[in-house]
Structures are given as C-alpha cells and as structure tokens.
Structure 1
Amino acid sequence: MTDVDPDEYEDVWVFIEVHGDEVASVSWELLSEGRRLADEKGEDLVALVIGRDVKTVAEEAIAHGADRALVADDPVFEPYRADPYGDQFRHLVEEYKPDIALIGGTHTGRDFAGRVAVPTHAGLTADCTELDVDDDGLLLARRPTFGGDAMATIKCETHRPQMATVRPGVFDVDEHDPEREGEIKNTEVVVEESDTLSRVLERSVGDVADITDADIVVAGGAGVEGDFSPIEDLADALDAEVAASRAAVDEGWIEAPRQVGQTGKTVRPALYIAAGISGAVQHLEGMNDSETVVAINSDPNAPIFEHADYGIVGDLFEVCPALAEMIREETRREVPV
C-alpha cells in the first residue's frame, strides 16, 4: 500500500462519457451532483473529457456547471477501449490529484474504473445511488448491499482519490447555462495506438434499449408467470420500454438490463406501469421518482398500491390487453383520415 497525504488532493472530478457524437446522460447527472459536492467542499468542479473531437463536449460540460474541463483529445480514444482510457485517466489522476472522482456506472465506467483505482491505490465504491460529504469533506458513498436487502454508506479516509461509479438515473440534471464561463485545458495524451493491446475489429449494438432514458415504462414481475406478451403488447401501444422486477429477471423471463430496482436500474419516467409486481422495497427504490405510477395486481393488498397514483385490481392478462386496445382505439380516432 502506498501512503498518500489527503491534503495534497483537491477538487471534484466528473468523467464525461462520450461515444461518437453522443454523451451519456449520466455524465450530466453527475455534473449536477458534483456541483453540489464541490460547493459543499469549497472546491472546483472539474469535467474530464476523453475522446475524439470533443471540444464541444467540453464546452457543454462548462455550461452544465463545471469550473474547468480537462480534455484528452485523440483518435486513439474512439471507439472506446478500456486500456487507453484507463491509462490516460490514471495519468491525469497522478498529475492533478483530484480528491473525488465520479464515473457513471455504465458498461464503460465499470469497465475502466478499476484500471484507475488499483494502480493509484484509490478507494473505489461501485454502483452508488446516493452521494454526500461529511463535516471533514470525506465522500459518503451509499450503495445497495446484501443483494439489495440493505444499504451501506462507505467512506475512504486514507486513500485518494475517493472514487465512485454511480448508477444512471438517480440524480436530476440541472438546467445548463450556455453563457457560463470556465477554463478548458487540453492535456497531454500519454497513450499511443502502437502501445494499445486491444483492437476493435467489429462492433454491433444489442437490441436492449436503455430503460433509464424512457418516458414511459411498462414493467412486469412475478405475476407474469413467464409470459411477458401482455406487458410487451401494452408497451407497444404506448410506445414504451419494457422493464421487469428482479423476480422476473432471476427466473430468466427477461434480460437483466431491463431490471428495475436496487440491484437493477433506476428509472424516472413520466409514466410507470407496474403489472404483477408486489412492490418490494428493493423494486420501489428503482422507480419511486416516476411522475405517475399505475399498478395492476390481482391482490388488492399488494404493497405496490400504497405507492401508486392509480391502481387496478385485476388479472394483468385481462387488464393489459384491454388497456392496449383502448389506447390503440384512441390513437386511431386522433389520426386524421
């Protein structure tokens, strides 16, 4: 273990995840939360932008609340690979010594965060859902544990930087200010293509959408008994995304990326329909910030009804198709002939 002097480390960093022309929405969420943490600590908020042709992304980061943006711009960073990203991030950590570094808990963030944390002897907490700082300025990283049955608050007193990967969808995005000013600094790129071990020979995109970006979500639970067709039919009528509780995922009825809850994803849609979901606290943790919740369950005493704006007591295999047909009929009426 390498001893560090915490007094040598300052500022809150947020990694801005870029793929081509797209910025992961969790990056803007973390800038909003990072702004709050930096203000509480009396330090700067720094956006770390790694990619190719990312000047406009750095400008957006300033508009979203960063005081400074450190930019590593080079073709070696597109498309994403863990080794050049990890090496570049680690170099910047060693040079600038951030006190806190926040990374989105995406496939990308989870892939390379350890490549930074291990060689720099940082303290890394994964899959966080809440962040705060204590009276001494230490990061309080809160995350699910014991399979989602409990929450743990973790702090790191002796290692720096204090790193955390954060689940997408758990923080709001503050309004950005295009007139906001800040420093954009191009940093030395320390990786070269010739030194990079991995090569991208072919890329394919899976058909599982990111449910965290959906405006409408229709979720099924144990009550679907292996048949998601009523959920899918209702989602199709609403142009919504299909999601699920952990029980449905554990049974293998649906893909894990569609799981909502403490051990899944956090969603904040305008409309969340929970069909055949009892309402366990682990599931509620992932959807309780939805604007409107509709619960469909045959058990009138199901806990989900206590957290729903509207409740339908009935068989989802009858209710979901009936709702889907009503929605399609209403849509047909609205379309001019």
Structure 2
Amino acid sequence: MNRNVLVFTEMKGSVLRQVSLEALSLGQKIAGDGSLVAAVFGSQASRYAEVLGQHGADQVMVFADPQFDRYQADIYYHAYRKVIQATNPDVILAGHTVNMKDVAPRIASRFGYGLISDCTNVELNGHDLSFIRPIYAGKAFEKKRFTTENMFVTIRPNNFKAEPSPKVQEVVFCEADNVDVQTVIRDIVLKSTGAIDLAEAKIVISGGRGVKSKEGFGPLNELASVLGGATGASRGACDEGYCDYGMQIGQTGKVITPDLYIACGISGAIQHVAGMSNSKVIIAINKDPEAPIFQIADYGIVGDLFEIVPLLTEEFRRRLAN
C-alpha cells in the first residue's frame, strides 16, 4: 500500500483541535509506505509543527499568518488549494467540523475528489478502503467506497485514537497570498459552552427539563469539572431557557461520541438520542423508571438527580484524590 495523504489540521483559537491528531493517526494507516503531510494555519501554527511530527507527519506545512486565526471561507479555500497543488495527495483527511463542512465540498468539486463525510470507522483490506458513517440520525450505518482515485474524507471527533508515532519531519513555512474575498466578516459572537469543546470532550454531563432551572445545571457543572468533562443539554432544557442553545446535543444540535455520557433528567426523545447514541458508555439518571433513555443506557439510576449527582461528585472527587 502506497498512498500520499494530506491532513488539513484545524485550530480552535490558539489550540490545535484533538481531531486533527486523530486524523493524522488514521492518515498513517492509509498512507502505508507513502507520504503523510500535515498543513496547519494561524498565527500560533508554528507551535504545533513538532506535535504534528510526533503524531506521524513526514512534512508539516505551516501558514503562520494571523489572517487564519478567524475562519473565512475564501481565505482558507485559497490556502487549501495552494497546499493541494503543491502536494498532489491521493487522500485528504480532516475533522468533521463546522468549518470543514463549509469548505470541503468546494474543494472536492474543484479538484475532482470524491467526498465521504462524518466517518466513524475505516476498514483497510489490503489496498481497498471502506468508510463507515452513520445515517438516519444514527439509527443505522452505511459502508461506502470511492469510485474515484482521489479521496476526501472527514472524520467525526472521538472515533479514532490519536497515537503518537514520532518521525523526523520536514517543516516548510509557507507564505499566504493576498485573496480578493467575496465576503467580509465584521464580527463574531462566541457563545461558550465551557472550557472543553463538546464535540471533542471525552466525558459529557447533560441535563434536560428535569434540571428545572438555570441553577439546576450547577450540580452538573460541578460533576463535569471534577471529571474534566463538558456540560451539555437536551433541546427541552434549551427551549425552557435553562441554558444556551450552544449546549444543545441532538439531531438539530451537536452530534457527539464521548467515552462517557451521563444524562441527567433527560427523558430520551428521539431527537436527543440522535446526538449521543454512539457514546461508548451511557449512564441515565431519571426519576421515571419508564423513561425511554433507559432503553439505550448501559447503566441506569432511578432517582432524583439533585440527590444522586452530588453523591457521584463527592465519590469521584474522593477516588480521584486517592
């Protein structure tokens, strides 16, 4: 097997997103004896050249320009096009993020790459590749293969392991061109859901209508803090005004796959389940023993979340301290 693979990494603020390292590890397996190139963008990009090499990149192309600190489709598209023309990859990999959802179809169309998005697994059988992705809001999975020689694949965060594989990489510093942008961004209003990105969090504590108020998220936030996780919510909690819609998990919110998902006061409506059903371990806490969430939960606790969550928090705090 011998393929040339290009990975478009992505920064969130000044921090490299974890899914970029996951894409690099997958890229190593797909490349085989071929080359693996990583491209990184932003004023802090040079900080991560060594990290990308530690995760398998043979070459790192660094665009250390502040114009990449804020996503702008025309600017990023032009830089991506420049990288593709320089490397001529057989396979392009990237995280299935909001930004890549925007620009990936444009790149694939321009360069004649087939595009498979939101992959959660890849099967390698010799030179053949098959890509697994969820459909019908996670109720089923489909296996797809490319009919084109050139492939573009985006992967869902937290589905591939980022495995260090140190290499002596070549670092190439690239100049960004001046681009005649068609759209000008005047301002971006950020709605923070916490220090940890929900899409990449390994542990998520979510609340539904059962939290009863904004203050009801307090115990959930404390548990998330102890476990180093993030706090999410069902649409019901968002509709009630208990939290911001940026925390919403579900078919019309964020789709996540954490290692551990704790649903507190969430009934388990289909819309919500579509956003978290592929979590590796699901724990449900609900006063109603007939709540649908228990049908998909690995572990269920019937009881009042305001009694159970603080007890869990104290027990986890005690065990972690020891």
Identify the TM-score tier after normalising by the shorter chain: 0.7 to 0.9
For 1:242 and 1:92, how far apart are their aligned partners in 2?
37
For 2:262 and 2:237, how far apart are their aligned partners in 1?
17
Contact 1:245/1:259 (8 A) holds in 2 = yes
Contact 1:246/1:261 (8 A) holds in 2 = no
For 1:150 and 1:237, how far apart are their aligned partners in 2?
35
**CA distances 1:58-112 after superposition (whole Å, capped 9, x unpaired):** 2210012212212333344333211111112123223322111111111222222
Contact 1:260/1:267 (8 A) holds in 2 = no
Alignment CA distance shift 1:164-1:245 (3 Å): farther
User: Where in structure 2 are the equivalents of 1:245-256 lying within 5 Å?
Assistant: 255=245
Offset at 1:187?
4.0
Contact 1:267/1:287 (8 A) holds in 2 = yes
For 2:236 and 2:121, how far apart are their aligned partners in 1?
24
Taking structure 1 as the reference length, what is the TM-score of the superposition?
0.75
- Counterpart position of 2:278: 286
Alignment CA distance shift 1:227-1:164 (3 Å): farther
Contact 1:220/1:277 (8 A) holds in 2 = no
Match of 1:142 among 132, 142, 147: 132
- Counterpart position of 1:169: 158
The one-letter amino acid paired with 1:146 is: Y
The one-letter amino acid paired with 1:169 is: N
For 2:136 and 2:284, how far apart are their aligned partners in 1?
27
- Counterpart position of 1:241: 230
- Counterpart position of 1:4: none
For 1:62 and 1:312, how far apart are their aligned partners in 2?
45
Alignment CA distance shift 1:125-1:323 (3 Å): same
User: Where in structure 2 are the equivalents of 1:1-337 lying within 5 Å?
Assistant: 10-39=3-32, 42-138=33-129, 140-158=130-148, 160=150, 162-175=151-164, 177=166, 180-187=167-174, 189=176, 191-193=177-179, 195-209=180-194, 210-214=197-201, 216-220=203-207, 224=209, 227=212, 232-238=217-223, 239=225, 241-244=230-233, 255=245, 258-259=248-249, 264-269=254-259, 272-278=262-268, 282=274, 285-288=277-280, 290=281, 293-297=282-286, 298-299=288-289, 304=294, 307-309=297-299, 311-314=300-303, 319-326=304-311
Contact 1:102/1:166 (8 A) holds in 2 = yes
Offset at 1:167?
1.7
Contact 1:58/1:69 (8 A) holds in 2 = yes
Aligned residues: 308
Offset at 1:279?
9.2
The one-letter amino acid paired with 1:28 is: L
Taking structure 2 as the reference length, what is the TM-score of the superposition?
0.78
Contact 1:144/1:151 (8 A) holds in 2 = yes
What stretches of structure 2 of length at least 5 have no aligned partner? Answer: none
Q: CA RMSD in A?
A: 3.8
Alignment CA distance shift 1:183-1:219 (3 Å): same
**CA distances 1:266-322 after superposition (whole Å, capped 9, x unpaired):** 24255634543449774664312x4xx43223226857367434x3223xxxx1111
The one-letter amino acid paired with 1:164 is: V
Contact 1:216/1:241 (8 A) holds in 2 = yes
**CA distances 1:2-25 after superposition (whole Å, capped 9, x unpaired):** xxxxx9x94122111124421112
For 1:52 and 1:230, how far apart are their aligned partners in 2?
39
Alignment CA distance shift 1:251-1:111 (3 Å): farther
Offset at 1:220?
4.0
Offset at 1:116?
1.1
Contact 1:100/1:163 (8 A) holds in 2 = yes
Contact 2:119/2:156 (8 A) holds in 1 = yes
Sequence identity of aligned pairs in percent? 28
Contact 2:3/2:30 (8 A) holds in 1 = no
With 162-171 and 241-250 compared, the bigger mean Cα shift is at 241-250
